[in-house]
Structure 1
Amino acid sequence: MNPTPQLGFEHFITQTDGLGKALFAILVVMSLATWYLIIVKAVSNARTRRRSNAFMQHFWNATSLEAVDREITTHGANDPFSHLTSHALYARQHHARFGAAKLEEAGSQSDFVTRTMRKVIDEETAKLENGLTLLASVGSTAPFVGLFGTVWGVYHALVAIGQGGGATIDRIAGPVGEALIMTGVGLAVAIPAVLAYNFFTRSNRVLLSRLDAFAHDLFAFLTTGQQIAPAGNVHPLKNAPAAPQRPDVLAPGQ
């Protein structure tokens, strides 16, 4: 009685050639990179949301922008909202003190503040999107890497069967089934990457939408001392003196 051959993924890896092992190693590296990014970005996004909510709560309960500036100086700018506020306050103070000393500072104070805020928003967008390209690449290429491994494994399995001088179902099923495992491995690597990419993309879009809305309110405070409400009214910052509204210092579109 012939002993039953030990088939399975381990057997497939041991009997495949260098290319098959290289494809499997690529999938392993893709999987490790994917899960590393998922864990790191999940922790980072949770910390960013917590710090952003804490700063926003302090901002709207502050008595003046000077109090907000002191809070940032004391605790630092550790989230996108405090980072934006810190640079916007510095830009206003810098332009009021030195004027347009350089080309990037040309124009009115509101123009300089607007450019500074846009630069900060671009920086925060790039920071939030860091690593998403890798997730998208893994999600789109891992199934094809696995499929390539399957095709290569099936080819070698059929060659071995042909050299053995027989093509019965029991001789074909084992080697071909082992090769098909590579397709499953490719899907197992790609699915978490795609789901994580979609989740982080939506999370970033929501946060950046909040940051953009906050930037409009902050710009209104810096130029008029008041918040522009959706209905067209204005609400002053708590106990903050309201400066007279001047059309020439409003940003385009305000």
Structure 2
Amino acid sequence: MPESLNIVDLITQASLLVQIVMALLLLASLLSWVIIFRMSARLGTAKNFDQQFETWFWSGEDLAKLYQGVQGSPERQGLEQIFYVGFSEYLRMHKKRQPKDDIIDGVERKLRVGLGRQQQLLESGLTTLASIGSVAPYVGLFGTVWGIMNAFLGLSQSEQATLATVAPGIAEALIATAMGLFAAIPAVLAYNHFTAKSSRLYDSRALFCDEMTGMLQRETSIENPQPSTQVSQVNQGTQVKSTQVTGL
């Protein structure tokens, strides 16, 4: 490539506005890659945590004991946190001797809230990726149009109109388009990929919520309207801790 068309030289010789456009596109590209790496790690961690908790949940251990184990976890997330808020509501309403239908409705509401909050945390960054993917090409096109306009303005002031005269200006303008695509394409691909992965996790968690609701419905069935022995022990343990704190 001739030295006159060196990419670095073209960028440094571009007009101030085109350089600003290129700098913005470079920052957008860097930001999108940071989000991509973070979301990749976050989704992978969330999937592993959910699989581990589901294995624990379906191991046959009593729900009350499972709740006590989750209660002591310093950093609850994913299915663990969803289970915690749902079963906490179950214990609270059982303690108040609420009717079965009210208990199940309350648990379902808490599970939906917990599911929604966990999904918001999971999808953090997707909006930025979508914005970069949709806006970056147009920003690059704006820089290209401006650069080509300057190139033709310079051509009109030249005594002899040749390709060598206009080529550098057009080349520097096209670099802006290339940078816009360079920022947009990975962002769009990552957005589609992460949206699909987060949707699969959401479906899996929603199915877990339905299964947990069914288990709690059996727990509060007409044949057994009172909390199970294990659940009662959890409530009693909570009351004992409260009494000890009051005594102190």
Category of TM-score, reference length = shorter chain: 0.7 to 0.9
The 5-angstrom pairing of residues 226-237 of structure 1 reads: none
1:145 is matched by which residue type in structure 2? Answer: V
CA drift of 1:31 comes to 0.6
Report the TM-score when normalising by structure 1: 0.81
2:48 is matched by which residue type in structure 1? Answer: R
Task: Answer whether contact 2:140 2:181 (CA < 8 A) is retained.
Answer: yes
2:22 corresponds to: 24
1:141 corresponds to: 135
2:126 matched to 1:128? no
1 CA distance for matches of 2:159 and 2:8?
Answer: 25
1:104 corresponds to: none
CA displacement 1:111-133 (0-9 Å, x = unmatched): 11111111111112222221111
Task: Answer whether contact 1:30 1:138 (CA < 8 A) is retained.
Answer: yes
2 CA distance for matches of 1:28 and 1:80?
Answer: 34
Report the TM-score when normalising by structure 2: 0.82
CA displacement 1:136-173 (0-9 Å, x = unmatched): 11101111111111111111122222222221122222
> In the alignment, which of 39, 43, 46 is matched to residue 45 of structure 1?
43
CA RMSD of aligned residues (A): 2.0
2:178 corresponds to: 184
1 CA distance for matches of 2:209 and 2:221?
Answer: 19
Task: Answer whether contact 1:149 1:183 (CA < 8 A) is retained.
Answer: yes
2:32 is matched by which residue type in structure 1? Answer: T
1 CA distance for matches of 2:23 and 2:97?
Answer: 58
2:204 matched to 1:210? yes
| CA distance 1:133–1:126, shift in 2 (3 Å) | same
2 CA distance for matches of 1:148 and 1:123?
Answer: 38
| CA distance 1:168–1:223, shift in 2 (3 Å) | same
1 CA distance for matches of 2:161 and 2:138?
Answer: 28
1 CA distance for matches of 2:92 and 2:151?
Answer: 72
Task: Answer whether contact 1:143 1:187 (CA < 8 A) is retained.
Answer: yes
The 5-angstrom pairing of residues 46-85 of structure 1 reads: 46-76=44-74, 78-85=76-83
2 CA distance for matches of 1:117 and 1:143?
Answer: 41
CA displacement 1:58-97 (0-9 Å, x = unmatched): 1100321012112212334533111111011100111122
1:196 corresponds to: 190
1:78 is matched by which residue type in structure 2? Answer: R
| CA distance 1:216–1:5, shift in 2 (3 Å) | closer
2:184 is matched by which residue type in structure 1? Answer: A
2 CA distance for matches of 1:139 and 1:149?
Answer: 17
1:9 corresponds to: 7
- Consecutive unaligned residues of structure 1, counting only runs of 5 or more, are 101-106, 226-241, 247-254
2 CA distance for matches of 1:30 and 1:135?
Answer: 9
- Consecutive unaligned residues of structure 2, counting only runs of 5 or more, are 225-248
1:228 corresponds to: none
Identity within the alignment, %: 30
2:214 corresponds to: 220
Larger RCO, structures 1/2 (Cα 8 Å, 6+ apart): 2
1 CA distance for matches of 2:154 and 2:43?
Answer: 51
Higher helix share: 2
1:156 corresponds to: 150
1 CA distance for matches of 2:74 and 2:26?
Answer: 40
1 CA distance for matches of 2:63 and 2:181?
Answer: 52
